[in-house]
């Protein structure tokens, strides 16, 4: 059926009047007529006709063979390792997709179409790009010669509607008690940092916590690729980084956007993720009147996250470690750690308070920890009498 769809698409393409403008409805009507005629001649079933019609339409308007995966709400990630090799994640498990792009050139066309819509470029001189789809899904593309097997495309999908705290509770990602605690912390303007490994749900948790920001506050969001959805807030300014052009000019970094945000009278600043020297600017913003700010970072544990923040902040200045630690201890109130579990679910595993410094070491107080599944609890346990831990 794949060959039949490609053959029909080429026939329709050759007959199109490129001087005319085809609306989606007009194109669909044309494709359905052609599929119906070919189906009668070749005796296709109704399911076969529908599949071919959608396949042809996707090749004209959408992301070609990836459209069924994008339409499947249970698919969370799509990984194209080359035009002939496609995998997808569904319900936490990787699967091989039985279809392929017709050629390497067709896959490159799809990539160029995606990045051009967000004013970014990717080519042999600049073969790596981050972009997004209209629904906010995160896109990463790598072209040859960097990608040895051909153009590579990775799409991290996001739900059609924002995930809420209620849904996280329903999924077992967090307990009602811990959820209420975090929502109160956001309303009380605590600076919260979310840590976790790749694919652990950091951005989702950031989005959920940001929904608890009271309406009426001015919020500036800063991201590499705009993903946050904050429909409950009216006064939001969304900023997005920009890569350099082919001449190496025009790059706008998170650090530059952070400095610009400070001049925009924000009540809170939400940084999608800190990866480098911008960590110092974020900490200084939290320490200079922008309480209630939120951000995320990659780390396997809370202690590792503090160490990474130190390394990133030192990379952006010549300040001694003691001063950097004081900045971190003063800026952060809570660290929420999220993890991807053995059953592929994503859960909050620890909520830790940063209670300052003692003898140059952080004072950490674990407020919630997730019990192991074999303990009979399998959820976050509130540590009312937890002591302080120096690291």
pLDDT digits (tens, 9 = 90+) for 156-205: 987 767 789 999 999 899 999 999 999 999 999 999 999 999 888 999 99
pLDDT score of 175: 93
**Whole-prediction pTM:** 0.78
Assign 21 a pLDDT band (cuts: 50, 70, 90).
low
SS3 64: helix
By residue range, what is the domain housing residue 239?
165-390
pLDDT score of 385: 45
Same domain for 75 and 184, yes or no, is no
Same domain for 141 and 245, yes or no, is no
- The residues, ordered by sequence, that sit 6+ positions from 21 with a Cβ below 8 Å of its Cβ are none
Report the domain count for the chain: 3
Same domain for 243 and 381, yes or no, is yes
SS3 327: helix
CB 349 within 8 A of CB 340: no
Same domain for 87 and 56, yes or no, is no
Same domain for 207 and 333, yes or no, is yes
Query: Tens digit of pLDDT for each residue in 206-234?
Result: 999 999 999 889 999 999 877 888 888 88
pLDDT score of 376: 45
Same domain for 134 and 30, yes or no, is no
Please give the residue that has the higher pLDDT: either 384 or 289. 289
Of 173, 186, 211, give the one whose Cα is nearest residue 337. Answer: 173
Same domain for 271 and 199, yes or no, is yes
Same domain for 181 and 138, yes or no, is no
SS3 141: strand
Domain-terminating residue out of 132, 160, 188? 160
CB 69 within 8 A of CB 88: yes
Domain-terminating residue out of 131, 160, 189? 160
Please give the residue that has the higher pLDDT: either 11 or 375. 11
Give me 388's structure tokens.
């302080």
User: Mean pLDDT across the chain, nearest whole number?
Assistant: 86
What does the H/E/C string look like for 13-29?
HHHCCCCCCCCHHHHHH
Paired strand residues for 150: none
Same domain for 250 and 304, yes or no, is yes
Same domain for 81 and 171, yes or no, is no
Domain-terminating residue out of 106, 127, 160? 160
Same domain for 356 and 373, yes or no, is yes
């Amino acid at each position: 059926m794949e060959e039949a769809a490609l053959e029909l698409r080429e026939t329709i393409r050759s007959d199109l009047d490129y001087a005319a403008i085809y609306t989606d409805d007009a194109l669909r009507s044309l494709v359905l007529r052609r599929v119906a005629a070919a189906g009668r001649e070749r005796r296709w079933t109704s399911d076969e006709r529908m599949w071919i019609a959608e396949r042809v339409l996707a090749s004209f308007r959408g992301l070609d063979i990836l459209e069924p995966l994008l339409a499947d709400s249970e698919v969370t990630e799509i990984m194209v390792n080359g035009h002939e090799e496609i995998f997808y994640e569904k319900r936490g498990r990787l699967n091989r997709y039985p279809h392929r792009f017709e050629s390497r050139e067709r896959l490159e066309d799809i990539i160029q179409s995606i990045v051009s819509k967000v004013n970014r470029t990717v080519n042999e001189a600049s073969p790596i790009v981050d972009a997004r789809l209209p629904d906010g899904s995160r896109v990463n593309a790598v072209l040859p010669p960097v990608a040895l097997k051909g153009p590579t495309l990775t799409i991290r999908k996001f739900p059609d509607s924002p995930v809420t705290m209620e849904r996280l509770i329903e999924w077992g990602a967090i307990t009602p008690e811990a959820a209420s605690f975090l929502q109160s912390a956001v309303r009380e303007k605590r600076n919260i940092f979310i840590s976790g490994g790749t694919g652990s749900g950091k951005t989702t948790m950031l989005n959920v916590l940001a929904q608890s920001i009271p309406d009426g506050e001015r919020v500036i969001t800063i991201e590499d690729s705009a993903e946050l959805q904050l429909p409950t807030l009216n006064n939001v300014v969304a900023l997005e980084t920009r890569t350099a052009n082919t001449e190496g000019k025009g790059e706008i970094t998170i650090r530059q956007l952070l400095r610009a945000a400070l001049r925009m009278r924000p009540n809170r600043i939400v940084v999608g993720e800190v990866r480098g020297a911008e960590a110092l600017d974020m900490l200084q913003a939290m320490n200079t009147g922008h309480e209630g700010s939120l951000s995320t970072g990659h780390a396997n544990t809370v202690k590792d996250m503090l160490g990474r923040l130190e390394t990133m902040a030192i990379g952006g200045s010549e300040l001694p470690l003691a001063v950097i630690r004081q900045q971190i201890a003063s800026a952060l109130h809570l660290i929420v750690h999220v993890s991807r579990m053995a059953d592929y679910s994503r859960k909050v595993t620890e909520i830790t308070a940063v209670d300052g410094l003692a003898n140059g070491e952080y004072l950490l107080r674990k407020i919630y920890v997730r019990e192991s599944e074999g303990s009979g609890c399998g959820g976050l346990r509130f540590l009312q009498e937890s002591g302080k831990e120096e690291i």
